[in-house]
Structure 1
Amino acid sequence: MPYSKLHDGVVTICRIGTGVAFAVLIATVLIQVVGRSILNSSPPWTEELTRYALLWLVAFGAGLSLRSGDLVNVDIVSEALPGRWPWRLRLFSALATAGLCLVLIYPAWRFTSIGVRQTSPVLAIRMDFIHASIVALLVLLALFALMRAAAMLTGRSDGYPTFNAEPRP
């Protein structure tokens, strides 16, 4: 599969996942607010579902944020350096991000596997489905960082975030 198809596919999946998680989050919070304000009683499952939707929102959105430059990035010193040093530091940053994520995947997987024996208190969802959001976050963030590094090493990118990658209001 060519790089652009892989990249576009991952971006599309992450956008859809982020949108679905955000829609669930909005609907759940709306039910909670209406329940508390108008009915004087909020369904107990809304708080739990809000937390889980937020976890999946972050899992799908972190890689997109790396891609678009929306993650915190302090580069005032590195970009002021001469020659190819800024490029080298952007490459190092992408590789370090990918490396850290790859190192953390196995412990996150072990943590997720513990959730098979647990269920959430109100919704009775197996917790491995919830804990899997951390594995997804690490895998997707590593993938986006590796795609950035690969694009830099092949000359398709200078390593700067794609600032206009996401439509802005």
Structure 2
Amino acid sequence: MAFRKLHAAIIALCRLGVGLAFAALIVAVLVQVVGRSILNDSPPWTEELTRYSLLWLVAFGAGLSLRTGDLVNVDVVCEALPGRWPWRLRLFAALATAGLCAVLLIPTWRFVSIGVRQTSPVLTLRMDLVHGSILALLVILMIFALSRAIAMLSGKSDGHPAVDSEP
């Protein structure tokens, strides 16, 4: 029960993160378009904010996309295999995804820590806040991949993507 609540909280946090990042992206692009079209001068911060918002949008959205099957997935051959082979391949894919994320965590942490000494040119944000999106992406993707693998191994899922009951 606690696992379900934690999983639901992570999903809600990721959805909120996607929404906020997308809202920031929309505002930045809108200001840029209005500035260029009407004022003949767009603020320089809009390009940076657009890039950073897009990074965080992907960071929060990748795990959700893995969960719902919206990531690129070539499973025509895998699903046509006989017996339990499709299940085994889905489990392997989940474990391989989680493993790759785990292997990349330490190098990514080093990369993020370099950003403490750097700032972005226009917004003067510490770059570790920007580079942290890559670390967040890996952690979130690993959580959703492990969640799928655990659900498969415990018999609560067949490994197919989750279908949201919400619109």
Shift in Å, 1:66: 0.2
Q: How many residue pairs were aligned?
A: 167
- When normalised by structure 1's length, the TM-score is 0.96
Shift in Å, 1:50: 0.4
Q: Flag the 1:88–1:146 CA change in 2: closer, same or farther, 3 A.
A: same
- When normalised by structure 2's length, the TM-score is 0.98
**CA separation in 2, counterparts of 1:5 and 1:162?**
16
Q: Flag the 1:166–1:55 CA change in 2: closer, same or farther, 3 A.
A: farther
CA distances 1:21-79 after superposition (whole Å, capped 9, x unpaired): 00000011000000000000000000000000000000000000000100000011110
Task: Name the residue aligned to 2:110.
Answer: 110
SS in 1 for 2:74: coil
Q: Does 1:133 align with 2:117?
A: no
Runs of 4+ that moved beyond 6 A: none
Give the letter aligned to residue 120 of structure 1.
S
Asked if 2 retains the 8 angstrom alpha-carbon contact of 1:79 and 1:86, the reply is yes
Shift in Å, 1:3: 1.7
Q: Does 1:76 align with 2:82?
A: no
Shift in Å, 1:104: 0.4
- Structure 1 residue runs without a partner (length 5+): none
Asked if 2 retains the 8 angstrom alpha-carbon contact of 1:68 and 1:165, the reply is no
Task: Name the residue aligned to 2:92.
Answer: 92
Task: Name the residue aligned to 1:153.
Answer: 153
Asked if 2 retains the 8 angstrom alpha-carbon contact of 1:108 and 1:135, the reply is yes
Task: Name the residue aligned to 2:33.
Answer: 33
**CA separation in 2, counterparts of 1:82 and 1:2?**
36
- Structure 2 residue runs without a partner (length 5+): none
Asked if 2 retains the 8 angstrom alpha-carbon contact of 1:68 and 1:166, the reply is no
Shift in Å, 1:12: 0.3
TM-align CA RMSD: 1.0
**CA separation in 2, counterparts of 1:105 and 1:74?**
26
